[in-house]
Amino acid sequence: MRKIFSHTEGMITDPMHYCPGCTHGIIHRLVGETLIELGIRERAVGISPVGCSVFTYKYFRCDMFQASHGRAPAVATGAKRCRPELVVFCYQGDGDLAAIGTSEIIHAANRGEKITCIFVNNAIYGMTGGQMAPTTIPGQRTSTTPGGRNVAEDGFPLKMSEILSQLQTPGYIARVSMHSPAEIIKAKQIVRKAFEYQVSNTCFSFVEFLSTCPTNWGMSPVDSLNWMKTNMLPYYPLGEHKIPEKHEGGSR
Amino acid sequence: MRKIFSHTEGMITDPMHYCPGCTHGIIHRLVGETLIELGIRERAVGISPVGCSVFTYKYFRCDMFQASHGRAPAVATGAKRCRPELVVFCYQGDGDLAAIGTSEIIHAANRGEKITCIFVNNAIYGMTGGQMAPTTIPGQRTSTTPGGRNVAEDGFPLKMSEILSQLQTPGYIARVSMHSPAEIIKAKQIVRKAFEYQVSNTCFSFVEFLSTCPTNWGMSPVDSLNWMKTNMLPYYPLGEHKIPEKHEGGSR
Amino acid sequence: MKTTDVLFAGFGGHGMLMAGKLLAMAMIKQGRQVSWLPAYGAEMRGGTANVTVCISDGDVMSPYIERPNSLVVMNTPSLHKFGPKVKTGGLVLVNSTLVRESFERDDCHVLYLPAGDIAMGLGNVKATNLVLLGAFIGLSKIVTKEDMIEVIQESFTSKSKFIPLNVSAFAAGYEEGTKLRLENDVELELEDEERDSTYAYSNG
Amino acid sequence: MKTTDVLFAGFGGHGMLMAGKLLAMAMIKQGRQVSWLPAYGAEMRGGTANVTVCISDGDVMSPYIERPNSLVVMNTPSLHKFGPKVKTGGLVLVNSTLVRESFERDDCHVLYLPAGDIAMGLGNVKATNLVLLGAFIGLSKIVTKEDMIEVIQESFTSKSKFIPLNVSAFAAGYEEGTKLRLENDVELELEDEERDSTYAYSNG
Amino acid sequence: MPLIKVVNDKCKGCELCINACPQKIIRLSDKINTQGFRYAQVVDKPRCIGCKLCALSCPDLAIEVFAEGCRYEFYPY
Amino acid sequence: MPLIKVVNDKCKGCELCINACPQKIIRLSDKINTQGFRYAQVVDKPRCIGCKLCALSCPDLAIEVFAEGCRYEFYPY
Amino acid sequence: MAKILMKGNEAIGEAAIKAGCLHFFGYPITPQNELPEYLSKRLPQVGGKYIQTESEVATSNMIFGAAGVGVRVMTSSSSPGISLMSEGLSYLAGAELPAVIVNMMRAGPGLAGILPAQSDYAHATRGTAHGDFELIVLAPSSVQEAVDLTILSFELAEKYRNPVMLLGDGMIGQMMEPVEFPDVEVGPPMKAADWALTGCKGREPRLVSSLFLDPVELNEKNHERFARYKVIKDNEARHELYNCDEPYDVLITAFGVMSRVCKSAIQELKGQGINVGMFRPITVKPFPSEQCSAAIFKSKRVLDVEMNMGQMLVDIQLAANGKREVDFMGKCGGLTPSIEDVIESVHSTLAKIKGGVA
Amino acid sequence: MAKILMKGNEAIGEAAIKAGCLHFFGYPITPQNELPEYLSKRLPQVGGKYIQTESEVATSNMIFGAAGVGVRVMTSSSSPGISLMSEGLSYLAGAELPAVIVNMMRAGPGLAGILPAQSDYAHATRGTAHGDFELIVLAPSSVQEAVDLTILSFELAEKYRNPVMLLGDGMIGQMMEPVEFPDVEVGPPMKAADWALTGCKGREPRLVSSLFLDPVELNEKNHERFARYKVIKDNEARHELYNCDEPYDVLITAFGVMSRVCKSAIQELKGQGINVGMFRPITVKPFPSEQCSAAIFKSKRVLDVEMNMGQMLVDIQLAANGKREVDFMGKCGGLTPSIEDVIESVHSTLAKIKGGVA
Ligand SMILES: Cc1ncc(C[n+]2csc(CCOP(=O)(O)OP(=O)(O)O)c2C)c(N)n1
Ligand SMILES: Cc1ncc(C[n+]2csc(CCOP(=O)(O)OP(=O)(O)O)c2C)c(N)n1
Ligand code: SF4
Ligand code: SF4
Ligand code: SF4
Ligand code: SF4
Ligand code: SF4
Ligand code: SF4
Ligand SMILES: [Mg+2]
Ligand SMILES: [Mg+2]
């Protein structure tokens, strides 16, 4: 029999620490496979954030940094500017990237750093026990919004892909979701494209993943997929939000 | 004879420290006049940034903070949340707001803080001697871009009004310019509107001013106005970029 | 001054922290001093989660105890980790439903109770913690059955539908504990210690 | 070891820092040690800008001098601020074009030169600093006229169109300084000091 | 005949594969693995079409898929 | 007849008022003020139309504008 | 009010309310999350506001804004988050604003770990950030003391117009102990201050600023502030002496929960016939130096015990002033020296006294 | 190479190039702007890169990334900017990365002023941030020494895998003095390191991290690091003794440019027939304690002079170890104690010796 699907060489085979059904694991796989498919594992440097994916460095079979909370794009900038031959990618959660790290991601994107950012939006601070994130959906209950996110006090969810797409500096910005196998398949193509843009030295690339947190959402993994589809998709439209080819130089 | 134009009660009458022809001074006046016209001087709290406008606190005749570099919106948040009866405004430069303070302005806007931000974009770090700012125009020479801003290395100018307009949380976002008396007159109306939105507790408000820095641009004040018109306007389109009335609730 | 320490150990989700908390609350009701100090693994799920409850007639000195008087243990890894640390003469109470091995210490009372099976018998394996707590109290008689039940009832008021299960799990454990006490001739009480309490603040 | 300190004081834009720098460069050419320590007002324009040049045959000790040997001063506020600080026996050289008052110190040589007018006469008031530098050197003879002119020529190579103006301003100042020296019987040289240089690094 | 293999000890019993399988042939076992989870298993092997959707959905990389002969690949994986 | 008054000692001679004046009647004086700047002054007073554009353009709040009688205000100032 | 069993983190939250603090700004971080979570529920009940911030940098500036308008305000974080507040703390001190900052210390440096530690003592007490200033730093050893010191923090902050840090060693946040609170629903607000920015109606405008471009003025400001620190040291330094009435050869020095481990060790040593004293600073800044010296001089040798690499050691050595040797025993990275460790160290200190080792 | 007259800031920039540093990341701040401005011109000429960052927080993480891939890297800032790097410095130390950080100190706290100061000594040498770690900190007193120590910084950083701070007292950045550079265009790059992230071709993947969730491991890591600090102290502590050969009653202690003011004062005092010695630490961390003690014990009393409220005083007092009294004279906020101030203070210290004042 022929193996038509198996564990990617881009990752180690040990079990991961994520909660059952947490889609962080799927996202890992897509990145790991891409490292192999593009033949870049041996010149890749990944950057783990602070968040549930803090141990990402244990899972990817490539050189890794563990960065401070929110600053992975700055670490990536330092690494890539000094060794442009490396393929540098960040893996960040939404607390990490859209709260404390807002400035770093925007400026890395705006400088056009030739790095790839994998952004895992699960609408919550997973690791610290389910506090409201900037990406939390209106009305969503968290450990710090006992009555649900109140847009009058906390504002609306932050849409990082839209914000970054707004920048004039060329970049590749896309949003994908983990709520169904079909979306996962689409996501894989987009992750590949994102890395390809780096490999060809074209531009900054960024993929936002809608992801689940069954533990802190207080739902089963399957219910989480449905909740995500019903509640997150309306706020976070999927698709390629910006592609470098469409960039029109100096005009707005 | 009747005085048809005179010094506003919103400001002190002593000379200001700005370089000759620096349009910071005009912006001050527009804000000072508004404090008086809306009758809010006695409940206003202004926040001086770090930048050439660090001494703003000397000029406005109202209670003032001097904040740390880039964090005026956070200081404003603290003040306004604790005393909602105050009218709180920040006055910030482009290094202050669009570089080190990127995160604070975006999150204050996104939370929908009922504050007013006066943002002075002069495409340079004035106070520290003319280094490149995130807002510096492609090709513009500064003390750290001796060959002119190179978009391949430094990216394109950051358009804060556009970025903030992208947020779903309601807000009033406008860009004005100081390059001609006609624009100054328009700007005044917009500043008034911005404060009115705060006074009526409607939303966050933000006015970006295109402003000159004759000293660090190395030009006469009049040439600076022309340079601004020719070089900055194409990058920074004027107008009301976002008005709260147009906001459509939960949809994108 | 009399004092004792109990370590409740298991994995996250086993409810050992809650068991410790109920004990601590009962002690306060009796006018005793307590401390309840939990320790978890890293910020992930499924790691160890244990709690040390220190009980004293005077101020609790160290809430951090490496060598407790008693250990109530849910599963094998926790037994391996903490079993050897129990003080000589102390008590090790083992949930034999999950721990399928015997633990060798002849300087302690090592007692086994199929607490998981008992809980399962009552309809929910999640009540194993209460069975173990009941057994510990049956063994130690540190508080009366009635007082403890009162505490259980009070502390579940917001989730009152769980009260009956928890009370019956506790009661079942208590019976088993009393039996074990008699069978094994266990004599556990607060230790008596000569302690001097020169506790003085300067300037308030 | 011989040593002296000169303070060049004026406002930002007056070019006093440049005057000090030219002096420092000339001293280095002579194999002397120098330090050039500027002091500005706040981060804005138009405030005070002055520089202390310390010249020594050995290592320069303190580059920070509150009481200099010589003061070359452009304008009234700077004279008020620094005039009283000059050491007894020292020199105060005043640009009388901007300073319209006389400065009372009889323990110093206080000399006046309409340096601004001289510069204006040469076509550009901005060269006042060079006139003052020339005068200081004419007075102190701390370096020859020729050597100083060489330094001026070298340091303006990138802005060579300014060389003739600066050289002639310097030369005019130098003549005036020489005259003042004779008229006022000024004797300025590096001070002689007994200094011991126990200067030792441990571990390199 | 295609075939999937669940690496039992990596499975966390999250049921995402079950949710994904178009043939609805996966179930959780009644046994638990070394991690303490009931793990996924195929209950009706012959009906497996080798679509890989289960494997693609598994967050823990616990599923391998095998097939025989030449296959038309539906999507680029 | 409208009239402007430049507060000499606040003027920094930046010429923005000169640039703004539609009547081109402002010039810098040859004298300098206490701040050391040549200051603005009106050279052809009767031609002033009281449009205030000079005052609106002055970064240093150095200009006051006076007028007599009833006026039509062109813009809300 | 009856004693209730409460986690340290939650108890501090409640204590803040009892101290009249109705505004909390914070960013999540283990091991202090129960504090903001508690307040996110409680504050709205008492008419207050919980605001989740975008970062600790923003937080420190929000409390600057809040304190500047004259309200009682608190934040809470843990080690890396506190490091990010460094600049903000310097601004608070420079502008002389009262605010209370809780640090539930975890292991460092860097991301390190989330287990309890005491390794921010140096950052809290010396060199918190740039410039000449000090925090007032209180280190509780029990949940009840955490409550009491939280309330005291607000009072000291206001009285001396200086930021106050409550320095907890991780354990204290996670631990439950019975506590009592003052019998009020909500404590009193900040007294109307003649510096607070409340709108200039009926008075001259005010300024809250740390900027003093005139060096003479700034020099004076700093000297003034340090004179005030002297007053604080004279009047507010707090400490505990334990078992110091009978003669002792060894004095243990320890702060926070660590001191209670030492107490248990001292009890056991008593059983062995060895009398050991203990000195615990409650205000670790200002450090009660004289009181510490007095206790040290009654001993033959000192043993400093900390959950770090010896950060309080400097203060103990300064207090010993060359007159007594100071031994150190420390574990860090999330480890806590146990009762047994302390006993062993006391024995080795005793051996050094006997052996005459320096 | 002939001596050229150069500003300290620019000289440090050039020295970095001579030390093989081809990457500079920085954010503008007075009084160090000439350094990045210089490098923004020079680095491209030698094949290097100048990157202007969005903030000091980002900067400290960019140098983390740069150092992690095994290149020599530098940043530069001044007091408030350095405070913002606190967390980043802790991460650098935790992950054991070599990087050079220049701090051209200005007056604090808060925004305070832009004039020279020495008031970040405490932040640089103690309590830089959370966790148990130390920086290596070098304090030059002349532009030439700034050049030499910049080059040394890169060597020490790499040799000991620890961040190194060059601590300049503002003046040194603005001052011009004649300097000489090593006769190379660009210095050598970082030696190939077995920890650097360069892509895992032909080897196992590597990790650069400060995270150690196992407390036993973290405890060991910290102890290991502190053992290394001991080695650094034994081998790399540098100091200068001035005028210490003849007997002296008073020993002055001072660092950085301040020490040169003291030297001039000592010269003048010599004229008055008074011999005064001076001890200057060049490595302020590790502080050359034993060497300092030795110099102190030859005196009757010590006078510590600083441009702050007495931040090095702790180290001097520890070195004096209760055996000598230490007087302090300091100005801050942008003021510099003058030669005259120092002379006056020496006289009052002498009076205390005569009067037998403690
Ligand atoms: C400076 C700092 N602040 C806060 C924390 C605490 N912290 C750890 S993980 C985390 C956020 C995790 O949320 P997210 O980035 O959304 O990742 P997720 O766990 O949801 O995948 C926070 C705030 C920290 N480690 N450092
Ligand atoms: C934390 C910190 N970083 C840097 C500085 C130095 N600094 C002072 S003003 C300024 C920027 C000024 O530029 P901008 O905000 O554009 O204001 P402008 O002067 O142009 O009006 C900087 C970087 C500082 N004071 N604090
Ligand atoms: S806490 Fe949430 S995000 Fe983190 S591993 Fe668990 S499910 Fe995933
Ligand atoms: S430096 Fe530029 S921005 Fe600053 S006051 Fe002068 S002209 Fe205005
Ligand atoms: S390969 Fe397809 S059909 Fe077969 S088990 Fe997996 S999902 Fe079901
Ligand atoms: S998706 Fe993977 S982990 Fe989840 S039940 Fe299926 S095989 Fe197990
Ligand atoms: S008011 Fe109008 S016309 Fe009169 S001087 Fe001013 S700009 Fe010129
Ligand atoms: S605009 Fe104002 S400052 Fe400028 S020249 Fe005219 S009056 Fe003077
Ligand atoms: Mg998240
Ligand atoms: Mg600017």
The secondary element (H helix, E strand) that includes residue G23 is: strand G23-26
CA of A24 to the centre of ligand 3 (A): 8
Does B248 have pLDDT greater than 50?
no
Mutate to test the pocket of ligand 6, among E32, E42, E63 (most ligand atoms within 8 A of CB): E63
Question: Is B247 inside a domain boundary?
Answer: no
Query: Can you tell me which atom of ligand 7 is nearest the CA of F63?
Result: 6
What residue's CA is closest to ligand 3, atom 5? A18
Does F77 have pLDDT greater than 70?
yes
DSSP state of H112: B
CATH number, position C121: 3.40.920.10
pLDDT at C188: 66
Tokens of F58: 């002055």
In single-letter form, the type of residue at position C173 comes to G
The total number of structural domains that make up chain B: 1
What residue's CA is closest to ligand 1, atom 9? A51
Residues of H with CB under 8 A from a CB of B: 27-30, 33, 36-37, 40-41, 50, 52, 54-56, 80, 110-111
**What's the rounded Cα separation, in Å, for the pair H265 and H267?**
5
Tokens of D110: 């206080």
Question: Is D199 inside a domain boundary?
Answer: no
Q: Does B250 touch chain A (CB under 8 A)?
A: yes
G6: nearest CA in chain C? C36
Mean pLDDT over each residue of chain B, to the nearest integer: 96
How would residue E73 be classed by pLDDT, with cut points 50, 70 and 90? confident
Is H91's CB within 8 Å of G107's CB? no
**pLDDT tens, position by position, D63-89:** 999 999 999 999 999 999 999 999 999
Average pLDDT over residues B200-226: 98
DSSP state of D45: S
Question: Is D196 inside a domain boundary?
Answer: no
Task: State if residue F62 touches ligand 8 by the CB under 6 angstroms criterion.
Answer: yes
**What's the rounded Cα separation, in Å, for the pair H328 and H314?**
11
Task: State if residue B18 touches ligand 4 by the CB under 6 angstroms criterion.
Answer: yes
The percent of residues in chain F predicted with pLDDT above 90, rounded, is: 78
Give rounded-to-5 percent helix, strand, coil for chain H: 40, 20, 40
Query: Can you tell me which atom of ligand 3 is nearest the CA of A215?
Result: 7
Closest CA to D20 of D3, D42, D5: D5
Domain containing B101: what range?
A: 24-242
Question: Is D20 inside a domain boundary?
Answer: yes
G85: nearest CA in chain H? H84
Cα R_g (chain D), whole angstroms: 16
**pLDDT tens, position by position, C89-146:** 999 999 999 999 999 999 999 999 999 999 999 999 999 999 999 999 999 999 999 9
Average pLDDT over residues G59-81: 98
Is G261's CB within 8 Å of C37's CB? no
Mutate to test the pocket of ligand 8, among F4, F8, F9, F16 (most ligand atoms within 8 A of CB): F16
How would residue D203 be classed by pLDDT, with cut points 50, 70 and 90? very low
Q: Do chains A and C touch (3 or more CB pairs under 8 A)?
A: yes
Q: Are strands D191-192 and E26-32 parallel, antiparallel or unpaired?
A: unpaired
CA of F20 to the centre of ligand 2 (A): 31
Mean pLDDT over each residue of chain G, to the nearest integer: 97
CATH number, position A235: 3.40.50.970
Task: State if residue E3 touches ligand 6 by the CB under 6 angstroms criterion.
Answer: no
Question: Is D202 inside a domain boundary?
Answer: no
Does D196 have pLDDT greater than 50?
no
Does D202 have pLDDT greater than 50?
no
DSSP state of C160: G
**What's the rounded Cα separation, in Å, for the pair C137 and C131?**
10
pLDDT at E35: 81
Residue E26, strand partner residues: E42
Contact assessment for residue F33 and residue F8, using Cβ atoms and an 8 Å cutoff: yes
F70: nearest CA in chain B? B2
Q: Which residues of H touch D23 (CB under 8 A)?
A: none
Q: Does A163 touch chain B (CB under 8 A)?
A: yes
Cα R_g (chain H), whole angstroms: 21
The secondary element (H helix, E strand) that includes residue G7 is: strand G4-7
How would residue B146 be classed by pLDDT, with cut points 50, 70 and 90? very high
Does D44 have pLDDT greater than 60?
no
B158: nearest CA in chain H? H54
The total number of structural domains that make up chain C: 1
**pLDDT tens, position by position, D125-181:** 999 999 999 999 999 999 999 999 999 999 988 888 889 999 999 999 999 999 999
Question: Is D161 inside a domain boundary?
Answer: yes
Is G111's CB within 8 Å of A66's CB? yes
Query: Can you tell me which atom of ligand 2 is nearest the CA of H29?
Result: 6
Task: State if residue A19 touches ligand 3 by the CB under 6 angstroms criterion.
Answer: yes
Question: Is B171 inside a domain boundary?
Answer: yes
Is C42's CB within 8 Å of G113's CB? yes
Q: Strands across the sheet with F3-6, in order?
A: B2-5, F63-67, F3-6
Instruction: State which residues have CB under 5 angstroms from ligand 10, the bound ion.
Output: B 93-94, 122, 126
Contact assessment for residue B212 and residue B178, using Cβ atoms and an 8 Å cutoff: yes
Task: State if residue F20 touches ligand 8 by the CB under 6 angstroms criterion.
Answer: no
G32 compared with F74, residue with greater pLDDT: G32
Query: Can you tell me which atom of ligand 1 is nearest the CA of A96?
Result: 15
**pLDDT tens, position by position, A195-238:** 999 999 999 999 999 999 999 999 999 999 999 999 999 999 99
Question: Is A214 inside a domain boundary?
Answer: yes
The percent of residues in chain B predicted with pLDDT above 70, rounded, is: 97
- Looking from the CA of G337 toward its CB, the CA atoms found within 13 Å total 31
Q: In Å, how far are B36, C91, H40 from F75, measured between CA atoms? A: 18, 90, 47
pLDDT at E68: 86
Q: What is the pTM of this model?
A: 0.96
Residue G130: which of H82, H222, H223 has the nearest Cβ?
H82
CA of A46 to the centre of ligand 6 (A): 26
DSSP state of F27: E
What structural domains does chain F harbor?
A: 3-72 (3.30.70.20)
Outline where chain A has alpha helix (H). Answer: 24-37, 56-59, 72-82, 94-95, 102-111, 151-154, 160-165, 181-199, 214-217, 221-227
How would residue D40 be classed by pLDDT, with cut points 50, 70 and 90? confident
Residue C202: which of G142, G239, G243 has the nearest Cβ?
G239
In single-letter form, the type of residue at position E8 comes to N
Task: State if residue E63 touches ligand 5 by the CB under 6 angstroms criterion.
Answer: no
Interface probe with H: pick from D7, D64, D82, most Cβ of H within 10 Å: D64
Is B222's CB within 8 Å of F53's CB? no
DSSP code per residue over G285-309? ES--HHHHHHHHHTSSEEEEEESSS
Outline where chain G has alpha helix (H). Answer: 8-18, 34-45, 56-68, 79-84, 86-94, 121-125, 143-160, 171-174, 215-236, 258-271, 289-297, 313-320, 339-355
A137: nearest CA in chain B? B250
CA of B23 to the centre of ligand 4 (A): 8
**pLDDT tens, position by position, H113-147:** 999 999 999 999 999 999 999 999 999 999 999 99
Closest-CA distance of chain D to residue H325, Å: 25
**CB count, 10 Å around CB of H154?**
25
pLDDT at B18: 96
In single-letter form, the type of residue at position B178 comes to M
Tokens of A47: 């950057």
Q: Do chains D and C touch (3 or more CB pairs under 8 A)?
A: no
**What's the rounded Cα separation, in Å, for the pair G3 and C59?**
14
Residue with tokens 């001292």: G266
Is E59's CB within 8 Å of A18's CB? yes
Closest-CA distance of chain H to residue A86, Å: 7
Average pLDDT over residues B207-218: 98
**What's the rounded Cα separation, in Å, for the pair D30 and D144?**
10
Domain containing C93: what range?
A: 2-184
pLDDT at C12: 82
CA of A92 to the centre of ligand 3 (A): 13
Longest CA–CA span in chain D (Å) reads 58
Question: Is A178 inside a domain boundary?
Answer: yes
A160 compared with C156, residue with greater pLDDT: A160
Interface probe with H: pick from A50, A54, A65, A167, most Cβ of H within 10 Å: A65
Instruction: Classify residue H234 as left (phi > 0), alpha (psi -120 to 50) or beta.
Output: alpha
Counting beta carbons within 10 angstroms of the beta carbon of residue G201, is it exposed (0 to 12), middle (13 to 18) or buried (19 or more)? exposed
What structural domains does chain H harbor?
A: 4-236 (3.40.50.970), 242-355 (3.40.50.920)
Q: Does A150 touch chain G (CB under 8 A)?
A: no
| Chains touching H, CB cut-off 8 Å, 3+ pairs | A, B, D, G
Question: Is A112 inside a domain boundary?
Answer: yes
pLDDT at D42: 53
